[in-house]
């Protein structure tokens, strides 16, 4: 334990930098497929300084379904903008949203302004153009604003420090479902996941632009909830499998407690490791990503889901089931790594060789025949509640078959427009035959790498 407290003391010593405080606006997001309502919960002054650069307060990438804008009330000057996505934004596309209304707790974080500000939330319409959906005004100096304390500061450890938070991308790895006896296990896993991330391009080349922090609030029981198997845990972060009825989808909707715990560490992005063996995870741009820490595929899930959360990357696969409905209106997606190939143009035109045909041929029919059969076997294994080791073997066998198939294919190393992406077999295209966002491979395609680099540049001084 002496080493633990030494790391913690060094962590706090190195956080004595001159920055404004972090302000958080907590609100409720309510609605269904026909109606959307926002209401203010509380304004919170977080205990730590703003972890980002004040010189990079305007989001130039706009990767999410929503964005928020902070303006000085008196001068109308834009002080801060960020795009984001949300659990509500996914839930409203599910079948449940056609039947009932639900409420989700959400937060906006930005540097504490000096004077009263107007906050605007915008949402993409059916043409993906941002439209105003809510506005409110807050006084950052109001005496009723909640002052949060860093009550979990002694549990925060520094996995890797490369500079002060305002100069680096700060990632917070949180653990859920770890008992006091398992804290050493969490720290070991957090370090292993850090190494896996930085073994992958372009994170590998930009390692010095990151700080990695870690915290695992203590659970009374090991593991997190998995309701489909009658497994229930009252874990500190409230993470659970079966989000939206999808058995592998892992999320927490306990935003209030998640933010309360996370505010004891500097963070721009959060990855939650769940202390479970069953393959699973999730990732929402600008909110958090999750990964089953003990799965045979933990490294892959960690990196794939972080791609969603960190860079706003779309899923490129389309043969497996998802919890939410896909759009029937084919327009150009706002995610950087998929395209509708409208008028024969992609987002990545500058990366294309002029000789590459669009669309670009690949063994699509062969892949689909194999993949749909594989999905049937996977579903049967889940239905029969087979051991996770059998599922892991299926995943490995499937990936070996796919990699062998692609290695023999024409255009397997070409940047083009390969039909099948964004959960749709037709109408959407990915830039390369394979990518971490498509199969359980080990590399991001060039387009995804460029999108990640853009985000690193937005959050770091380089």
The dihedrals phi and psi of 392, each to the nearest 5 degrees, come to: -60, -40
State the DSSP code for 243. G
Examine the domain organization and report whether 283 and 169 are in the same domain.
yes
Q: Does any domain span residue 278?
A: yes
Examine the domain organization and report whether 183 and 112 are in the same domain.
no
Q: Does any domain span residue 355?
A: yes
Give the residue among 244, 48, 265 at the shortest CA–CA distance from 175. Answer: 265
The first and second tokens of residue 378, run together, are 């996977």
Alpha helices in 24-119 (DSSP H): 87-91
User: The CATH number of the domain where 117 resides is what?
Assistant: 2.60.40.3250
| Confidence at residue 325, expressed as pLDDT on a 0 to 100 scale | 45
The dihedrals phi and psi of 379, each to the nearest 5 degrees, come to: -65, -40
Q: Does any domain span residue 394?
A: yes
Q: Does any domain span residue 12?
A: no
CA separation for the pair 282, 273 (Å, rounded): 11
| Confidence at residue 12, expressed as pLDDT on a 0 to 100 scale | 45
Give the residue among 218, 141, 225 at the shortest CA–CA distance from 174. Answer: 218
Examine the domain organization and report whether 246 and 193 are in the same domain.
yes
User: How many CB atoms are located within 10 Å of the residue 334 CB?
Assistant: 18
CA angle 6, 11, 15 (to 5 degrees): 150
Examine the domain organization and report whether 170 and 112 are in the same domain.
no
Q: Does any domain span residue 98?
A: yes
Give the residue among 392, 175, 192, 170 at the shortest CA–CA distance from 290. Answer: 175
| Confidence at residue 6, expressed as pLDDT on a 0 to 100 scale | 40
Give the residue among 112, 17, 15 at the shortest CA–CA distance from 57. Answer: 112
User: How many CB atoms are located within 10 Å of the residue 94 CB?
Assistant: 19
Alpha carbon 262 to its chain centroid, in Å, reads 15
The dihedrals phi and psi of 338, each to the nearest 5 degrees, come to: -135, 150
User: The CATH number of the domain where 265 resides is what?
Assistant: 3.40.390.10
| Confidence at residue 320, expressed as pLDDT on a 0 to 100 scale | 74
Q: Does any domain span residue 280?
A: yes
In three-state secondary structure terms, 311 is helix
Examine the domain organization and report whether 133 and 167 are in the same domain.
no
pLDDT along the chain (462 residues), means of 10: 42 54 98 97 98 95 98 98 98 96 98 98 97 98 97 96 97 98 98 98 98 98 97 98 94 98 98 97 98 97 98 94 58 97 94 96 96 92 89 95 96 96 95 98 98 97 75
Q: Does any domain span residue 96?
A: yes
The answer for residues whose C-beta is within 8 angstroms of residue 42's C-beta and 6 or more apart is 26, 145, 146
Examine the domain organization and report whether 342 and 242 are in the same domain.
no
Q: Does any domain span residue 322?
A: no
Examine the domain organization and report whether 211 and 309 are in the same domain.
yes
Strand order in the sheet with 281-284: 157-160, 210-215, 169-176, 269-274, 288-292, 281-284
Examine the domain organization and report whether 172 and 129 are in the same domain.
no
State the DSSP code for 156. -
Q: Which of 253, 280, 315 is the last residue of a domain?
A: 315
Cβ atoms of 195 and 204 within 8 Å: the answer is no
Domain extent for 301: 153-315
| Confidence at residue 4, expressed as pLDDT on a 0 to 100 scale | 43
Domain count of the fold of the chain: 3
CA separation for the pair 449, 435 (Å, rounded): 10
Alpha helices in 356-407 (DSSP H): 364-383, 388-407
| Confidence at residue 134, expressed as pLDDT on a 0 to 100 scale | 98
How much is the pTM? Answer: 0.94
Examine the domain organization and report whether 166 and 306 are in the same domain.
yes
Residue 341: C-alpha distances to residues 192, 201, 358, 360 (Å) = 39, 26, 8, 11
Q: What is the 3-state secondary structure (H, E, C) of 103-134?
A: EEEEEEEEECCCCCEEEEEEEECCCCCEEEEE
Query: Would you tell me the crossing angle of helices 298-311 and 446-459 to the nearest 10 degrees?
Result: 60
Residue 10: C-alpha distances to residues 5, 7, 15, 155, 197 (Å) = 9, 5, 9, 13, 24
| Confidence at residue 321, expressed as pLDDT on a 0 to 100 scale | 59
| Confidence at residue 123, expressed as pLDDT on a 0 to 100 scale | 98
Tokens 């930085």 found at: 198
Residue 342: C-alpha distances to residues 58, 60, 156, 345, 430 (Å) = 29, 23, 48, 6, 13
Residue 133: C-alpha distances to residues 38, 42, 58, 138, 237 (Å) = 8, 19, 20, 17, 29
CA separation for the pair 28, 104 (Å, rounded): 6
Examine the domain organization and report whether 107 and 254 are in the same domain.
no
Examine the domain organization and report whether 394 and 288 are in the same domain.
no
Examine the domain organization and report whether 77 and 207 are in the same domain.
no
């Amino acid at each position: 334990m002496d080493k633990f407290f030494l790391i913690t003391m060094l962590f706090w010593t190195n956080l004595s930098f001159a920055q404004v405080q972090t302000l958080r606006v907590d609100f409720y997001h309510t609605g269904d497929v026909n109606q959307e309502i926002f209401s203010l919960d509380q304004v919170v002054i977080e205990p730590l300084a703003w972890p980002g650069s004040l010189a990079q307060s305007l989001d130039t990438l706009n990767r999410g379904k929503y964005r928020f804008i902070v303006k000085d009330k008196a001068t109308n000057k834009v002080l801060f903008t960020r795009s984001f996505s949300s659990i509500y934004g996914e839930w409203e596309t599910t079948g449940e949203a056609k039947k009932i209304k639900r409420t989700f707790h959400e937060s906006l974080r930005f540097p504490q302004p000096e004077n009263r500000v107007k906050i605007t939330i915008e949402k993409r319409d059916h043409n993906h153009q941002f439209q105003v959906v809510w506005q409110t005004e807050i006084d950052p100096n109001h005496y009723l604003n909640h002052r949060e304390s860093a009550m979990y500061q002694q549990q925060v450890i520094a996995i890797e420090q490369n500079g002060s938070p305002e100069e680096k991308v700060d990632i917070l790895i949180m653990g859920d479902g770890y008992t006091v006896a398992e804290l050493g296990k969490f720290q070991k896993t957090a370090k292993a996941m850090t190494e896996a991330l930085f073994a992958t391009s372009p994170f590998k080349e930009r390692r010095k632009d990151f700080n990695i922090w870690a915290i695992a609030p203590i659970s009374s029981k090991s593991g997190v909830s998995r309701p489909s198997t009658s497994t229930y845990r009252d874990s500190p972060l409230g993470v659970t499998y079966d989000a939206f009825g999808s058995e592998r989808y892992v999320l927490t909707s306990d935003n209030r407690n998640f933010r309360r715990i996370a505010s004891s560490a500097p963070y721009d992005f959060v990855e939650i490791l769940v202390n479970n063996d069953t393959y699973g995870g999730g990732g929402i741009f600008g909110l958090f990503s999750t990964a089953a820490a003990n799965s045979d595929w933990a490294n892959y899930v960690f990196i794939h889901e972080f791609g969603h959360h960190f860079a706003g990357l779309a899923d490129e696969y389309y043969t497996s089931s998802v919890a939410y409905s896909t759009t029937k209106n084919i327009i150009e997606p706002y995610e950087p790594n998929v395209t509708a190939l409208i008028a024969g143009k992609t987002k990545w035109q500058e990366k294309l060789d002029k000789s590459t045909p669009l669309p670009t041929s690949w063994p699509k029919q062969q892949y689909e025949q194999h993949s749909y059969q594989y999905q049937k076997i996977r579903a049967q294994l889940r239905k029969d509640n087979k051991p996770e080791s059998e599922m892991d073997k299926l995943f490995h066998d499937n990936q070996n078959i796919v990699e062998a198939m692609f290695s023999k294919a024409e255009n397997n190393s070409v940047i083009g427009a390969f039909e099948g992406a964004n959960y749709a077999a037709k109408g959407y295209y990915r830039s390369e035959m394979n990518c971490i966002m498509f199969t359980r491979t080990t590399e991001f395609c060039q387009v995804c790498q460029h999108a990640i680099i853009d985000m690193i540049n937005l959050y770091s001084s380089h």
